[in-house]
Amino acid sequence: MLLSSVKQYLNLALPYADIDPESWEKLQYPRKTMEATIPMRHDDGTLKTYRAYRCQYDDTLGPTKGGIRYHTSVNREHAEILAFLMTFKCAVAKVPFGGAKGGITVDPKSLSHRELERLSKAYIAAFSDFIGPDLDIPAPDMGTDEITMGWMYSEYKRIKGGNPRGIITGKPVPLGGIKGRTTATGYGGYYVLDYILNKLQSNRQVSIAVQGLGNVGYWFANKCQQEGLKIVAVSDVGGGTYNPKGIDPNNIEGEKISNKELLELPVEVLVPAAIENVITEKNVGNIKAKLILELANSPTSYEADLLLENKNVFVIPDILANSGGVIVSYFEWLQNRQAQEWEEDEVNLQLRNKIRTATQKVFERCIEHGISMRTAAYSLALKRIGGANECLGNKGYFQK
């Protein structure tokens, strides 16, 4: 996946954004990408060096926001692509943030907990002057979790003093984390799907295949089951299970299938919820689902996306479908700044309201202009970011 590839979505969206192309041009490159080298002494005495990144793509709408990923595939461009997606995700969800992302090139499973704690604290020390509750607010991503956020929060607090809880989201609840953050992305995906199913068809008799029963996929599948939607296939990195009669995500029984087969099943709804780039030019011809809900970031390549549109497959893009996580992160940041504690029911209710409003706005644009949901989402985000830029005057204004 290349930054130049995802940026093509902006070209498709510009004609519908109703903004001066100057604002579009400003979004072609990240505002700032920082790199650091972290030497760390391992438990066995050896010193190893790790590469770390933080990209702040655009801060027009507020402090930048985005996760920290620990994975061997992390590099500068990877951070920039994910920060780009965060920029537009925050604008579609209408949370007052720009987009950021960061990470360390490491396999977290290869480290002990003591090593992970040292590495996480060193990451914060390296970037402490560039992040802050009003500047750039990290969160968990693949390979990091709430305890990582707890270590990072305590290190930031040690360096800067005070109790700056709004510096990071996804913290453990006793350290200012919010209830309902774990389920947020999966539940948010369900609320989006529920809205769209009601618009597109009169019944909810759909079969759903979920690739990646991790945090996001599991809570999505769980919510679908609670709400009477039928999951027929699930998988993890080791392979999948298919049962046309229905699968209980807590008691998985059925025929064993591969991840490749899962993507090509005869289902109504396909939900990639694992990794990037799983729907490409190579397999798009075999996809039978009529609706794709992108819970993973960037699961569809740009070329495959165009082919899906030609096949009339209704794709609900990542920047809308998986925005439940950043919406509840925003609630956590608000809760911290107001020294409040929200109850879980309240979090879920506010999440439902906010993500349904975003879905409605994107769907209305999609119908009004006859464009894909992805182009509708990018054009809505571009309009919001461009509109904020143009408050300071555009070319027409300064020519007078």
Which member of 297, 335, 336, 375 binds ligand NAD (CB under 6 A)? 297
Please report, as residue ranges, which positions from 135 to 164 form the binding site for ligand NAD (by CB under 6 A): 142
Least separation in angstroms between CB 162 and ligand NAD: 28
Helix (H) or strand (E) holding 40: strand 32-41
CA dist., res. 254 & res. 331, Å (int):
39
Backbone angles phi, psi at 299, to 5 degrees: -75, -15
Buried b (16+ CB within 10 A) or exposed e, 57-90: bbbbbbbbbbbbbbbeebebebbbbbbbbbbbbb
- Binding span for ligand NAD by CB under 6 A among 52-60, 233-241, 249-257, 391-399: 233-241
- 274 is an interface residue for ligand NAD by CB under 6 A: yes
- 256 is an interface residue for ligand NAD by CB under 6 A: no
CA dist., res. 168 & res. 146, Å (int):
10
- Binding span for ligand NAD by CB under 6 A among 30-38, 58-66, 149-157, 212-220: 212-220
Q: Please say if 361 is a catalytic residue.
A: no
CA dist., res. 227 & res. 230, Å (int):
9
Which member of 275, 371, 376, 385 binds ligand NAD (CB under 6 A)? 275
Least separation in angstroms between CB 170 and ligand NAD: 8
CA dist., res. 235 & res. 212, Å (int):
5
CA dist., res. 128 & res. 122, Å (int):
10
Which member of 296, 327, 355, 382 binds ligand NAD (CB under 6 A)? 296
**CB-based burial label for 176 (10 Å; 0-12, 13-18, 19+):** buried
Least separation in angstroms between CB 101 and ligand NAD: 10
Which member of 60, 211, 300, 372 binds ligand NAD (CB under 6 A)? 211
Residue 219 to residues 184, 198, 234, 273, Cα–Cα distance (Å):
8, 21, 12, 11
Catalytic, out of 65, 89, 101, 230: 101
Please report, as residue ranges, which positions from 302 to 341 form the binding site for ligand NAD (by CB under 6 A): 322, 325
Specify the residue, 213 or 347, whose C-beta has the smaller distance to ligand NAD.
213
Least separation in angstroms between CB 148 and ligand NAD: 13
The C-alpha R_g of the chain, in whole angstroms, comes to: 21
Which member of 169, 259, 300, 389 binds ligand NAD (CB under 6 A)? 259
Q: Which of 161, 7, 146 is nearest to 68 (CA)?
A: 146
Specify the residue, 371 or 373, whose C-beta has the smaller distance to ligand NAD.
373
- 273 is an interface residue for ligand NAD by CB under 6 A: yes
Q: Which residues are catalytic?
A: 101
Footprint on this chain of ligand NAD (rule: CB under 6 A): 142, 185, 211-217, 235-237, 259, 273-275, 295-297, 322, 325
